Amino acid sequence: MNHKEFLYFILYKAFIVLREEGHFLKNKKTFWISDFLHNLPMELKGANSIEEFQKIFSTLQESASYEGMKKWFDSIVEDFDLTLQMKKNAEDSSSDTD
């Protein structure tokens, strides 16, 4: 078994299941997020360079604008940036005590 391929595939399938459940239960947020992201694992699987990852990000960002997901996407980007900053601050503090 190719474990890397399987991990991408299981993420893809999980998003499909969540999308179906969101549709069935009329949970718009779950449906739209899973619909928005369900192809992402397979796209990531094929990416091999920084440029390809940047293209995937840009495409996702652009799609967010068209699909009414911009506010959600922007909040995730902000959360990610904040998390990176907190990690950097923690690493800086750790190196100061060494």
pLDDT tens for 79-95 read 999 999 999 999 888 87
- The pLDDT value recorded for residue 68 is 82
- The pLDDT value recorded for residue 66 is 82
The percentage of the chain sitting over the pLDDT mark of 70, rounded to a whole number, equals 97
User: 77 pLDDT exceeds 90?
Assistant: yes
CA 22, CA 84: separation in Å to the nearest integer?
Answer: 31
- The pLDDT value recorded for residue 47 is 95
Q: Are 82 and 89 in contact (CB under 8 A)?
A: no
pTM metric for this prediction? 0.78
- The pLDDT value recorded for residue 97 is 66
**pLDDT tens digits for range 43-52:** 999 999 999 9
**Amino acid making up residue 50:** I
